[in-house]
Amino acid sequence: MDAGLAVVFAAVVAALGGIVVAIIQMRNLAEENRTDHAMVQKRLDTVIDMVGKTSAKLTSHLDWHVNTSTKEPRKDQKVKQVATRKKK
């Protein structure tokens, strides 16, 4: 075998080996990607449930404010002090 043919043969083997390794890695990455997406989807579902519960509580609380009285709520004495305090 002459040197030129040996170099070409080595390049072809290296290229084919690189392609095989790339395909194997792509399969592993695709599986890992699916696993990661499933985990993120579960966490997003949890967050969506938490936001839904908080939204329901907030709506209920706001309805309570609307339905209890139209009068201005009584302010706490401490809040009045802070609001009327003079700046130095």
Instruction: Convert the pLDDT of each residue in 8-31 to its tens digit.
Output: 999 999 999 999 999 988 888 888
pTM: 0.43
Six-digit token string for 70: 């139209």
The helix (H) or strand (E) run that includes residue 52 is helix 3-68
Confidence of residue 86 (pLDDT cuts 50, 70, 90): low
Residues 44-58 have pLDDT tens digits of 999 988 888 888 888
Residue 45, number of CB atoms within 10 A of its CB: 10
Give residue 41's identity as a one-letter amino acid code. Answer: Q
